Every structure is written in structure tokens, then in C-alpha cells.
Amino acid sequence: MKRFSVLRILVLAMMPSILGAVFGAVELSKKELRQAQAANLTVRGARSQGAPSRPAELQISNAPIATRVLVESPAETDAELQIICLFQSAPGNTLHGSLVEINEKLKGLLDKIRRPEFFRGELGETTVIIPPAGSLGARKLLVLGLGDSGNFTTQRMELVGSIVYRESNRLGAAHPFFAPAILDGGVTKFATGEVAEHFYAGFLRAARTEKLLEKNGVSAGQVLEDLTFLAGPTHAADTQKGLEAEARKLPN
């Protein structure tokens, strides 16, 4: 009887601690549940508000210089050097799409320079713009002329590709972004893959020339490390095919 009384006393003495632990665990579970529900609401809210996602990108197989196709507007890139092309400065060559976006972010600067007495847009002509803070994400904008839009052919892009390589190297840009902007320049009859293939031929030819000069001790060497080729969502796959087609032509 005495042993039972002692055991009973011990149980009664420990009861507050046991009950406290139980209720504490219940409160902790409720707190964790509230936190999980809040986190879920945050994720759902971000999705419903269109939280930004990373642009889609396609890698180029067997490229001698690391190259990718990125689905992004040249007006939105965060790059050390963004390169765009403009057709000859003439009243009939109006801007569209991403070129309008860039012009707006630069407060009409493209319209101001696209005049015969300033930037004519002749084939191979270049000018470099340092975008003001709060305008473009790119630290430098290289504008490259494409010549007359009326007689444009994709063969011109070989010269463009070689200029892009050499100017990127000259400006010390290791990771240039390039947008041909031919569609946004108003010329729509050429496949983006064909444009990309000719561009890459000139780009890689310039790279081989630089390598030869470096081998002979008459060049400081290649600064450029990789290339990002911009394309719209409906043209990215065709652009990738064009770049890879040119890469496959190179000797093993």
C-alpha cells in the first residue's frame, strides 16, 4: 500500500511536466503549420503575379567557342556588351519590336543618330553607346550597320560576324551578346537559321585569324570567351540549327 502511494505521488508530481510537453508539442505543430501555409501562399502569390523566370537558352553543340541562343530582348539584357544591327538610315527603314524598346529606353537616341549626317548605317559601320544609368542593362551598346535593306542578303552577315568578333575583342568584352535585329529592322523574308549560319561563319573565321596572329606573336590574344546569340521564342530553335550547321562544317 505504501509502495502504491509513493508511485502515485511520483506520477502526480510529474504530471505538470508531462502535460506541458504535450501542449508545447501541439503548439509547435500549429506554428509549423501556420508557417507552411504562409510559405505556400507566398509561392502561389508570386506565381499569380507573374514572378520573373530565367530566359530559355539553347546550347550550341560542338562549338569551338562556347555559344548559346538566349530567348531575350536586347533591350532587357544584363551584359557587358550588347550588339545590335541597324539598316541604312533612311525614312523607309523604320524600327520595330526590340529596336523600338531600345530607342525608348535611350529616350529617342537611335532616332537622333540615324541620319545621313551622323550614323548612316552603311554595311560595316559601327558606333559605341554608353547607356545612361537606369536605361539599358548593358554597360555598352555597339550598333553595327547592315546597309540597304532593299537588297539585303544573308551573305552580308559573314562580314557582320567577323566585325562582332573583332570589336568584342577590341573592347575587351569576354561575354558579348548579339542580336541581328533583322526582323525588327523590317526585313522578314529570310529564315533566322540562315542568318545565324552566315553570321557564325564570319565570326569563327575571325577567331581563327586571331588565333593564327597570336601563334605568330603579333597579337595580344583572344579576350572573348563565349557568345550569346539572342532570338525570339519562335525563332530560337531555327537559330540554334543554323549555328550548329556552321559548327559542323569545321574540321575535327
Q: Over the stretch 35-80, which tens digit does the pLDDT of each residue have?
A: 444 444 343 444 445 556 788 999 999 999 999 999 999 999 999 9
Q: Over the stretch 196-250, which tens digit does the pLDDT of each residue have?
A: 999 999 999 999 999 999 999 999 888 999 999 999 999 999 999 999 999 999 8
What does the alpha-carbon distance between residue 169 and residue 105 come to, in Å, rounded to a whole number? 26
CB 174 within 8 A of CB 228: no
Grid coordinates given for 120:
548612316
Distance of CA 165 to the CA centre of its chain: 18
Mean pLDDT of 92-121: 93
pTM reported for the whole predicted model: 0.78
Domain ranges of the chain: 1-53, 57-248
The neighbour count for residue 231, using CB atoms within 10 Å, is: 26
Options 3.40.718.10, 3.40.50.300, 3.40.220.10, 3.10.20.90; which CATH number does 57-248 get? 3.40.220.10
CB 244 within 8 A of CB 59: no
What does the alpha-carbon distance between residue 81 and residue 66 come to, in Å, rounded to a whole number? 16
